[in-house]
Chains A and B, each alone.
Chain A
Amino acid sequence: MATTGNTNGTAGLDSKQGSKQAAKQGVQEGFVYLPLIAGWLVPGAGHFLLRKWWRGALLATAIVGMFSMGIAMQGRVYGGASEILEILGLVGDLGNGLLYFVSRILGLGADQVQVTTADYGSHFIVVAGLLNVIAAVDAHNLRTGRKS
């Protein structure tokens, strides 16, 4: 009887591992760059696609939180850029993906930095974009198996 119980337990474990493996394989199939692109457009989405729920949630909270605080501090969201420093700021802002485009459409943030906290805010927005790029590349590395 004990042997039968053990066999059933092993079979249950095997089926659980099998379904996990199948889910992992399902994630591994498809477009290789999908986690990278999804992670760029929506912070944490690349990790969610790979079923890394906690990592995705923490990354999304950190990046969206940083971006929101930058906006709340009346930081500058770069639009057109002519000088080199503005171009670099724009590149950093673009790292935020949809957050950047939505904030531009809604006219969030300030056009000109007028107070010290707005300067902090501008840097928060740029750094949130750069951190989002790092997170998206991390999702890509997970997808390709370079990282576990």
Chain B
Amino acid sequence: MFKPSHFAAVVLFALFASVVFGITQRETPKLMIRYGIYCFVLFTGSAVALSWVMFLIAR
């Protein structure tokens, strides 16, 4: 059984979703790569930020 950590699962999710979003939502290869990276950073960045918010609320 594959047991990734929570963060590894977030990174994998963000990677796969960003690839599909980049290819389907933009027309040229350059824009696809830029949008894919943008989505990846937003996915992982927002997960880390929300984790910190929840950590601070729970304290």
A contact residues vs B (CB 8 Å cutoff): 55, 58-59, 61-63, 65-66, 69, 72-74, 115, 117, 120, 123-124, 127-128, 131, 134-135, 137-138, 147-148
Residues of chain A with a CB closer than 8 A to B23's CB: 55, 58-59, 135, 138
Q: B9's contact among A74, A120, A128, A131, by CB below 8 Å, is which?
A: A120
**For this complex, into which size category does the number of interface residues on chain B fall?**
10 to 19
- A54 shortest CB reach to chain B, Å: 8
- A69-B12, A131-B17 as given contacts; A148 in contact with B27, CB under 8 Å: yes
Residues of B participating in the A interface, judged by any CB pair closer than 8 Å: 1-4, 6, 9, 12-13, 15-17, 19-21, 23-24, 27
Q: In the docked arrangement, what's the CA distance between A88 and B19, Å?
A: 24
A117 with B2: CB separation less than 8 A: yes
* Minimum C-beta distance from A147 to chain B (A): 6
